[in-house]
Amino acid sequence: MGDSTLMERPRIDDRTSVLVLTGAGVSAESGIPTFRGAGGLWESHSFTDLASPEGFDADPALVWRFYSSRREGAKGCRPNPGHLALVELERRLGDRFLLATQNVDGLHRDAGSERLVEIHGNLFTSRCSSCSRPPFEDRASHLHGAPPCERCGARLRPHIVWFGEMLDPSHLERIHRFLTEAARRGPLVFLAAGTSGAVYPAAGLVDEARQLGACTWLVNADPADNGHRFEHFTQGRTGEVLPDLLGP
């Protein structure tokens, strides 16, 4: 792993493709709490009660109060320079860029990112827990229990991937396709930013990228759980580091 004291920068020329994976740390400077570490959500809340199908079955009202308060908390938050640096990079690279985010707060889209896969869902989207009604935008707070589906009457739930659930296979497929085609086309950079590397399959993307010959970079405030699998590590806040690291 590289040293973070000298600001190394990934080489990104007009043939390079870049896959970026972001996590909660990227939104921390916008005022959204992270999940792990001091002050993280999972320090004071039980993720089995609040973010699992079993927790939802046991107490849907509690789960909706949690996600409603996260909706209210996220509503006033704005993208920070870390989000904007990724938008700038996408403008330079076009289809040679893809952003996979574990964040559900929508700040990448608010910032202007377009080639974006929200692999853990979206905080402002709900779906039926039973029927095939497509997920829909829902910015409301539901403080008195799970609202009923208009189509079938079953409970609505947040459109979030909970512990024990599978990611949308079409999202993973899009990422795998991007990586393989990019590796065939030219140099490939994989950059993970603001993520603890504790949750799979996202934490395993670095291995897939390396197998395809990617140069791998990690930008994080603290060493990540999967940090030893990156070639380069820049320790710091993404709102400060990404504009320097990715700027022209």
219, burial (CB in 10 Å: exposed 0-12, middle 13-18, buried 19+): buried
Q: Which window, 124-132, 168-176, 208-216, 218-226, contacts ligand OAD (CB under 6 A)?
A: 218-226
Q: Which of 198, 208, 210, 243 binds ligand OAD (CB under 6 A)?
A: 198
| Residue 60 φ then ψ, to 5° | -60, -30
Q: Which of 12, 18, 19, 23 binds ligand OAD (CB under 6 A)?
A: 23
- Least distance from C-beta 154 to ligand OAD, angstroms? 22
| Residue 77 φ then ψ, to 5° | -90, 145
Angle at alpha carbon of residue 158, lines to 46 and 222, rounded to 5°: 50
Nearest residue to 36 via CA among 225, 246, 193:
225
The continuous run of DSSP H or E covering 128 comes out as strand 121-128
Q: Which of 16, 17, 30, 34 binds ligand OAD (CB under 6 A)?
A: 34
Should residue 30 be labelled a site residue for ligand OAD when binding is judged by CB under 6 A?
Answer: no
Q: Which window, 108-116, 123-131, 173-181, 190-198, contacts ligand OAD (CB under 6 A)?
A: 190-198
Should residue 100 be labelled a site residue for ligand OAD when binding is judged by CB under 6 A?
Answer: no
Q: Which of 16, 113, 122, 195 binds ligand OAD (CB under 6 A)?
A: 195
Should residue 172 be labelled a site residue for ligand OAD when binding is judged by CB under 6 A?
Answer: no
Q: How much of the chain is in helix, strand and coil states, percent to nearest 5?
A: 40, 20, 45
User: Cα separation of 143 and 160, whole Å?
Assistant: 18
- Least distance from C-beta 219 to ligand OAD, angstroms? 6
Should residue 196 be labelled a site residue for ligand OAD when binding is judged by CB under 6 A?
Answer: yes
Should residue 24 be labelled a site residue for ligand OAD when binding is judged by CB under 6 A?
Answer: yes
The sheet with strand 121-128 has its strands ordered as 136-137, 121-128, 156-160
Q: Which of 35, 66, 217, 230 binds ligand OAD (CB under 6 A)?
A: 35
User: Cα separation of 242 and 85, whole Å?
Assistant: 6
Should residue 81 be labelled a site residue for ligand OAD when binding is judged by CB under 6 A?
Answer: no
108, 120, 142, 159: which one is catalytic?
120
Should residue 37 be labelled a site residue for ligand OAD when binding is judged by CB under 6 A?
Answer: yes
User: Cα separation of 160 and 167, whole Å?
Assistant: 10
**Annotation marks residue 120 as catalytic:** yes
* Residues assigned a catalytic role: 120
Q: Which residues are near ligand OAD by CB under 6 A?
A: 23-25, 28-29, 34-37, 40, 51, 102, 120, 160-161, 194-196, 198-199, 220-222, 224, 237-238
